């Protein structure tokens, strides 16, 4: 089973994304910020294939999390998708340059999530 990590400080968003991912066949882990996410990744290693990451979170934001994960070669195959309210082209560019593979703007639909997962090659 594919394993995904949902990182968002909003419990409601974590629940919505987790439900969608479970329905699509993923085992889902959750974290409320980047610090928690790094801890989850340290415990689960390469078994996590996908991380959906919010930008604006306390303690460590999503862009810093993406940079930290990309700095570790053990996560080279991890697919990273930003899921955020940040809509400015400069933010999208910054996320992609930091190492995100895809970008979804909130609010989002299940169909958008599915389309992006197909683009990432983690779902057929």
Give me 29's structure tokens. 């882990």
Using one digit for the tens of pLDDT, what is the confidence trace for 94-118?
A: 999 999 999 999 999 999 999 999 9
Give me 113's structure tokens. 């999530």
Structure letter (DSSP) for residue 73: G
Domain with 28, as residue range(s), is: 2-120
Number of domains in the chain: 1
The residues that bridge with 5 in the sheet, in sequence order, are 29, 51
What CATH number is given to the structural domain containing 65?
3.40.50.2300
Splitting the chain (124 residues) into consecutive groups of 10 residues, what average pLDDT does each group show?
A: 94 97 96 97 92 96 97 95 93 96 94 95 83
Examine residue 6 and say whether the peptide bond preceding it is cis (omega within 30 degrees of 0).
no
Could you give the angle at the alpha carbon of 108 between the alpha carbons of 106 and 109, nearest 5°?
170
Strand 102-105 and strand 2-7: the pairing is unpaired
Give me 46's structure tokens. 């390469």
């Amino acid at each position: 089973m594919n394993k995904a990590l949902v990182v968002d400080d909003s419990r409601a968003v974590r629940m919505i994304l987790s439900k969608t991912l479970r329905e699509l066949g993923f085992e889902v882990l959750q974290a409320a910020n980047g610090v928690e996410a790094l801890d989850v990744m340290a415990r689960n290693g390469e078994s996590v294939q996908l991380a959906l990451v919010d930008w604006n979170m306390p303690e460590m934001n999503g862009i810093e999390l993406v940079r930290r994960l990309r700095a570790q070669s053990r996560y080279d195959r991890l697919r990273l998708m930003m899921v955020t309210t940040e809509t400015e082209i400069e933010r999208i560019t910054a996320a992609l340059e930091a190492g995100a593979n895809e970008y979804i703007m909130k609010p989002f639909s299940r169909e958008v999530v599915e389309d992006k997962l197909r683009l990432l090659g983690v779902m057929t």
